A and B are shown apart, each in its own frame.
Chain A
Amino acid sequence: MTAELESQIEQWRGYVRRRQAIAPADVEEMEGHLRDQLADLVSSGLSEDEAFLVAVKRMGKLDDISREFAREHSQRLWKQLVLTSAGEDDSPASSRNLMVALAFAIAAAIAVRSAMTWLDDTVLARNASLIVLPFVTGYFAWTRQLANRTVVVTLATYGGAALAINLYPWQTATLGTESTTEVLAATHLPIALWFIAGLAYAAGEWRSQARRMDFIRFTGEWVVYLALLALGGGVLVGVTVNTFSALGVGNPEAIAEWVVPTGAAGATVVAAWLVEAKQAVVENIAPVLTRVFTPLTVVMLLAVIGAFVVRFNLVDVDRELLILMDVVLVLVLGLILYAISARDPQAPPSWFDRLQLGLLVVALAADALLLATMITRIADAGVTANKVAALGLNLVLLVNLAWSTRLAAGFVRERTSFGAMEKWQTDYLPVYGLWATFVLAVLPVLFVFR
């Protein structure tokens, strides 16, 4: 057979292989069939091109065959959920990536365990993300062969963050307590660092809208995987600890001190690898999660508004309520982002888009109500670092959600395209990182490290 025919067969094999339901051995069997058929047709006088067309036509529509295979081997459609599916996934690149991921995971575990030995608790608490996230970033840097410039920027940012968090002269009111701005800086540090990991994830192409969308998607899936790993790990640790203490062997506390922190550190890298290796899985879960939780969140927000109305003249609205509201808005934003990342931008508006618009409107209403009741109280009680951080985050989220509402309303009425929403979210992405950096680096200075 000529090289041209070989390449046509090669192409056909590629198409067949992409079907989940058709296993590599079946592809081989069908390819043997195709070749026998071709040989017969050519020997009966057809040209190779004609023979190929006839043979492929006789083989039948791939959709039909694949459906027939799926009916016979329904378990194969589930196999994509299993890590080491036989055949094409066992490419050298993907198994090498696994090795690299495991190496970084182990390194992260060792780093965390060493830090626990050498650093005291307060120092450890504010540095936790600085100890773990570089390994996630390092994994991206390795797999993406980052340009030197990006590596330098990443390292410099990590260095800067490390210097700020550790060298700022935190002022504590009494010995043993932490300064407010220190706690704020420590909680905003992982968010700022996550965006540095994003820089590595996007291989330096942080201006690209597509890469930013990928990063949003990645973040959502990473969270899901991390939650799954935490769940499984929690069950495993719980069973082990209880068995050991029931047997009276060993020291269960050692498990808590060794297994939990090292496992958690390793899980951050493994989750990142899982997202890369098994994208299809969570692509299936994210739409389900959004569809389940969007209606529930709408109901919850309506209940929140109801509670506000019942106690409208409340005097004890405080910072905690504001923080809770921030959490709610983060949740709403997360749902919106999940939905965007899993949605086909070409699809016309559906009932779900209207429901999302409803979610946005209700969230805005609840937030507006809360802000209105709080604004006077904040003015009365004076400005503190905590209030600035909470209000600032609220503002950051409010701006995003308000504009998202406008875009969603336009989309539902088919005035704007869905792409506008995508663009807005990806354009807005750096704002979160900048705000986190502000709280981390500038706010402590403004409040003289108290």
Chain B
Amino acid sequence: MAKTLRIDKDLVAASATPLVLGILADGESYGYAILKRVNELSGGRMAWTDGMLYPLLHRLERQGHVKASWGESSIGRRRKVYALTRSGRASLAERRQQWDVVADALDKVWRSASGRLELA
């Protein structure tokens, strides 16, 4: 198990939207499954406050990026299921470009600074 790294709150907030949109791009899902997927993808190193996911999902719904509908879980409980919409797909593509630029720039910084930085 990788050592848990405390990820800055602002960074979590900034990356949450593309993560959720990206997970939903694989197919519709619900809150708990989305969080489990985030945990898998980050190897358990991105600690989200579970409850915060729902206001985020509702905001995406209001913006039209996702569409919510009530489905049923395997044990028959009502469950809200979210699916990506066309505008969500567009938003994801745009965010991906933005993050690519940021990641690219950061990558160059890490490499040029690698001599002076002691990476753990």
Contacts and interface: CB of A to CB of B under 8 A. Distances in A.
Report whether chain A binds chain B. Answer: yes
Interface of A: 25-26, 28-30, 32-33, 35-37, 58-62, 64-65, 68-69, 71-73
B96 interface: no
A422 B118 CA distance: 67
User: Which of A26, A33, A37, A69 has the most B CB atoms < 10 Å from its CB?
Assistant: A33
A198 B66 CA distance: 54
A32 B54 contact: no
B79 A68 contact: no
Contacts of B50: 33, 37, 58-60
A29 B79 CA distance: 6
A39 to B, nearest CB: 9
A73 B78 contact: no
Contact of B51 (A30, A32, A72): A30
A69 B54 contact: yes
Interface string B58-79: 1100100000000001000111
Contact of A33 (B31, B58, B59, B62): B31
B49 interface: yes
A65 B31 contact: no
Interface residues of B, number: 18
A65 B51 contact: yes
A26 B80 CA distance: 9
B110 interface: no
Nearest to B33: A36
B62 A60 contact: no
User: Which of B50, B58, B59, B79 has the most A CB atoms < 10 Å from its CB?
Assistant: B50
Contact of A59 (B51, B78, B79): B51
Tell me if B's interface is mostly helix, strand, loop or mixed.
Answer: helix
Contact of A32 (B35, B49, B78): B78
Contacts of B52: 60, 64-65, 68
A275 B59 CA distance: 35
A72 B79 CA distance: 21
B29 to A, nearest CB: 12
Tell me if A's interface is mostly helix, strand, loop or mixed.
Answer: helix
Interface string B82-98: 00000000000000000
A346 B59 CA distance: 39
Contacts of A62: 51
A68 B114 CA distance: 39
9 smallest A-B Cβ distances: which pairs? Answer: A60-B49, A65-B51, A68-B55, A60-B51, A36-B32, A59-B51, A72-B55, A33-B32, A59-B50
B14 to A, nearest CB: 15
Nearest to B73: A32
Given A30-B54, A69-B54, A64 B49 contact: yes
A62 B51 CA distance: 8
Contact of A29 (B49, B54, B59, B62): B54
Contact of B58 (A32, A35, A64, A73): A73
Given A32-B73, A69-B54, A72-B62, A59 B32 contact: no
A128 to B, nearest CB: 53
Contacts of B59: 72
A69 B53 CA distance: 10
B20 to A, nearest CB: 14
Contacts of A59: 49-51
A54 B67 CA distance: 30
A28 B78 contact: yes
